Structure 1
């Protein structure tokens, strides 16, 4: 049963001996309140002194939190010593704990002499601690209960007198004063510590920003910036593209076991995709915890790179060797910002260099500058005009439904560079065409226009799924700056003529066109086509279904009038070739082996091939 409590009596200078004991006890509490570095130690001392005054062996102290709940703060026991850890795991005033609620509501001591038979205490807690009789004392400051102190004898009965209760109430009011001051000091210390931590964080991040921007200003590229971030974080750092593939990465030497690759299965997990989809300029980072749902074995700090308002990949810091914290997230966000600016800068630089190179090629092709100036301008682009080069003009379809010419150019030069094993060749885009400047000689991968033609034909086939290539022309070798404008005019004339004939993806060299180049230069193309048709048509009309006569005539021309070689190319006997050439002589009235007929026939077949005559016949 609860024991009636006498009103508290204030402590005065000439009070009772027990009141003077309270004052003496608080001399030690005062010293602790001034010198203690931890609030927990002060609370444990307050509880211990109250136990000494009341002649009991155990106490527990609870403090009111900002949310109104009373959480365990400290505890002491005569047999076990400091029991604060066990008390801090508990809470007073929870459902089923009417005892604590009564102390809080009344703001006065409450005594329960027979705990096992009283319904107010929390049953399981009392049984756990073996409580027989307990006194609950409120810590009251300025009319508000800021804490609770509970005292008892471990597993023993104890009788509390009215004087004990009054003494405990007096002690509680004095203790509340010290504890309130200690709480304020603790909060101020925590605020000061937080301010100091924030100051150190800001100083650290300012230093990080200065080091990152300084490195960029000194010329560091993206890979170097990623390396610097890894050194600052002391952890692996990777730059990923939009598909989460690693673009570049680095890690401190002891942690460099391999790139932090996200497997294909992890990339496709909806949970991971959903987490990354939430990233934006307003929420630039997230922490991905290790989980089977995400497919991650380690914690990742992931930051979104935003370049010109568009997503442009991710920066990730991977946990290794130590736990990642808030500072790592801020470091990653600063790094992502600098990297985004670096990506934008490199893009602008590439675009500027590309534009400058396009301007140089345009001037070279159209002879807008003097020779010496052009030669000097080519040096920064790795173009030595004293070395042999050829121009390649590749006709491509543009307009609706087709890739932009600049995209076609990138595909063409990238594929050609891969085939030649060299850097990408200078190129420019013109309406309906891509013009590429290809160097010949050692280290260039090609040494003759015919080799260039073969590679360009392969490039045209490779890019065909994305670029509709109509055909290509390779110029003669250019050895002086003055050669390029003339070569470009010839390429343009041949390409325009081929387009009018419906050229079908053939790639030729100007050298192989032979006399046809003269025809093109004369401007009498229609007459040339009519001449070629008149020369060849009689043979075509008398030829069999297999076209053997025309095939033999063309093979004979390609073999430079050698019967034996033509027979080998056709896979027939030499006499068969001689017989067919005799038939051609009978039909046309011209000797296929004579010089005049050889020259005329060669030009005729070139004209008709370009016009698609043989393609239509087939």
Structure 2
């Protein structure tokens, strides 16, 4: 026989050289009958449903018996024409199949095996040591002296090779030995060909059964996912169902690998999503795999093989919505290994999730448009009161409670869509005010937010709200670069909203007229000033203000003007002004007398108080 376990040689099993006598049949009967008897015994094993390897090993054992040698090996032809070891037997060592499996016959330098293959006839080498045809290192490794190689021929094709030898002993092969070995090989070729065919058929049947089971499983998956969607399951519920079906953790990511939803079998005891790490995503091979994902190749396992410190493998599947990449679905190799069926599950699940996400987006857009229409009706007074009160709760608005509106004027150079700006504003209000995301509406150049007043609009609540709006506005500046922000008066009735919207627009126009774009304005703080300025005569109003206080402004270093401001802010009360200025009340009275002398006006009269208040407001806005 001929087989060499050395890694650089692969060929036939060795057999010793010339010397010993041929062994007669143990029964004394013609040796052909021994061959037939041996073959009948092997056939009996086949009928007993022995596996192919066991049958091939029996062929080796029986061949040793009928030829009177101690060692044999069998090689089978594989796809591509290579002959790989399949079975082996040695009377001294027993089963040597595993050693034979590591060998290959007919490789470069193995002219002996090539001769058997090409001629389709037995080839005998009586003196291996001095014959150039065998692979030298293989023969030395297996301690071969003489060897006989016999082809397994079926339907005119060499389908395998049989080799016999006596390990490290010389042996004389007679012509009868060769004929007996050839007869045995001919019979074995018929049997082995049929056995290999049976193996292929069983393998095909198993593959068909696996395919049928996989199709049934995927049909069940499709049914469960479809039913879940039809029953109103949300994205998180679908991810949980995928985890149950795969018996592995499942993670849904957005395009920036932020986790949108995840689920894992309870038995794993996970308290956080087993995400694909930045370290893995930074690997060049993983980056290339993820970048190559497309509708034609929607999934890949990354990393394909694990190294120390890389954790676990992830089956990543691309989500594509309306032709655009929209995230990833990952099945994580935790608890159980990833299987082919997981790929089918992930790709099917990704399709369902893509459709669900698209549906939810459409629903949100539809609801958003309906809410925008509702708020437009509310601000423009185009619907009756009962209709607006009835539909409000549908959009999270209870008009039976007081509200204020906050108007954000947007920059003309805004770098995002109005819808994105609106979502950003309402999200920031939710975070800073600690409320549910408020209702809002997009208008040309602005966003109006409705803010409920749980305390009914108390002075403390309004003061706190103004501070919170100022904080929200400051946090939005980097993204929105908003100009003036206006807070409306309190809206207690449905009919208050249109008027409040007009007032906010007027205040915004006034701020624009004075080129003021910073901070937060409350419409209630402008009073008479808004009425005067809204007439459109801004320049005249500014000139009036400067002329009204000119005499006092030029009289000293500003002390009198400061005192006049404090007196007006204290609504004409000397005591209030003295507290503000931190001076004696008589000092305030003295200064107010000086103001009367300079202006010729009585600063304590109602008309002068109103005019002075208006003048100071105009000057303040002009200064801004």
Scaled by the length of structure 1, the TM-score of the pair is 0.89
Q: Does 1:260 align with 2:274?
A: yes
Q: Does 1:113 align with 2:126?
A: yes
* Gap change, CA 1:572 and 1:20, over 3 Å in 2: farther
Structure 2: distance between partners of 1:236 and 1:502: 57
User: Do 2:542 and 2:622's aligned partners in 1 also have CA atoms closer than 8 Å?
Assistant: no
Kindly provide the CA deviation profile for residues 411-457 of structure 1, in whole angstroms up to 9, marking residues without a partner as x.
22111111111111100111111111111015999974443332222
Q: Give 1:251's aligned residue.
A: 264
Q: Give 2:499's aligned residue.
A: 486
SS at match of 1:424: coil
User: Do 1:388 and 1:479's aligned partners in 2 also have CA atoms closer than 8 Å?
Assistant: yes
* Gap change, CA 1:336 and 1:602, over 3 Å in 2: same
Structure 2: distance between partners of 1:300 and 1:443: 54
User: Do 1:269 and 1:294's aligned partners in 2 also have CA atoms closer than 8 Å?
Assistant: no
Q: Does 1:613 align with 2:603?
A: no
Q: Give 1:396's aligned residue.
A: 410
CA displacement at 1:533 relative to structure 2: 4.0
User: Do 1:389 and 1:439's aligned partners in 2 also have CA atoms closer than 8 Å?
Assistant: yes
Q: Does 1:221 align with 2:234?
A: yes
CA displacement at 1:402 relative to structure 2: 4.2
Match of 1:599 among 605, 610, 613: 610
Match of 2:163 among 150, 155, 165: 150
CA displacement at 1:228 relative to structure 2: 1.7
User: Do 1:245 and 1:262's aligned partners in 2 also have CA atoms closer than 8 Å?
Assistant: no
Q: Does 1:274 align with 2:283?
A: no
* Gap change, CA 1:263 and 1:160, over 3 Å in 2: same
Match of 2:521 among 505, 508, 512: 508
Structure 2: distance between partners of 1:189 and 1:574: 111
Q: Does 1:313 align with 2:327?
A: yes
Alignment of 1:74-473 (within 5 A): 74-257=87-270, 258-289=272-303, 296-398=310-412, 400=413, 402-441=415-454, 448-473=461-486
Scaled by the length of structure 2, the TM-score of the pair is 0.89
SS at match of 1:561: coil
Q: Which moved more, 1:146-155 or 1:517-526?
A: 517-526
Q: Give 1:67's aligned residue.
A: 80
* Gap change, CA 1:439 and 1:242, over 3 Å in 2: same
Structure 2: distance between partners of 1:563 and 1:114: 133
User: Do 1:238 and 1:250's aligned partners in 2 also have CA atoms closer than 8 Å?
Assistant: yes
- The structure, 1 or 2, with the larger RCO (C-alpha pairs under 8 Å, 6+ apart) is 2
User: Do 1:2 and 1:111's aligned partners in 2 also have CA atoms closer than 8 Å?
Assistant: no
Alignment of 1:544-559 (within 5 A): 544=557, 547-559=558-570
Q: Give 2:26's aligned residue.
A: none
Structure 1: distance between partners of 2:168 and 2:575: 122
Q: Does 1:38 align with 2:47?
A: no
Show structure 2 runs of 5+ residues with no match: 1-15, 19-28
Structure 1: distance between partners of 2:168 and 2:561: 120
Structure 2: distance between partners of 1:72 and 1:115: 21
Structure 2: distance between partners of 1:46 and 1:293: 44
* Gap change, CA 1:169 and 1:589, over 3 Å in 2: same
Structure 2: distance between partners of 1:277 and 1:331: 21
Q: Give 2:509's aligned residue.
A: 496
CA displacement at 1:505 relative to structure 2: 2.0
Structure 1: distance between partners of 2:355 and 2:211: 26
User: Do 1:290 and 1:298's aligned partners in 2 also have CA atoms closer than 8 Å?
Assistant: no
Q: Give 2:21's aligned residue.
A: none
SS at match of 2:196: helix
Structure 2: distance between partners of 1:225 and 1:370: 42
Q: Give 1:8's aligned residue.
A: none
Kindly provide the CA deviation profile for residues 60-111 of structure 1, in whole angstroms up to 9, marking residues without a partner as x.
1111011100011122233443332222121111122222111111111111
User: Do 2:404 and 2:489's aligned partners in 1 also have CA atoms closer than 8 Å?
Assistant: yes
Kindly provide the CA deviation profile for residues 252-271 of structure 1, in whole angstroms up to 9, marking residues without a partner as x.
22323432234445444444
* Gap change, CA 1:585 and 1:407, over 3 Å in 2: farther
User: Do 1:285 and 1:304's aligned partners in 2 also have CA atoms closer than 8 Å?
Assistant: yes
* Gap change, CA 1:530 and 1:214, over 3 Å in 2: same
User: Do 1:555 and 1:570's aligned partners in 2 also have CA atoms closer than 8 Å?
Assistant: yes
Structure 1: distance between partners of 2:72 and 2:603: 124
Structure 1: distance between partners of 2:229 and 2:556: 73
Structure 2: distance between partners of 1:540 and 1:407: 49
* Gap change, CA 1:148 and 1:552, over 3 Å in 2: farther
Q: Which moved more, 1:528-537 or 1:299-308?
A: 528-537
Structure 1: distance between partners of 2:379 and 2:488: 12
Q: Give 1:6's aligned residue.
A: none
User: Do 1:539 and 1:587's aligned partners in 2 also have CA atoms closer than 8 Å?
Assistant: yes
SS at match of 1:154: coil
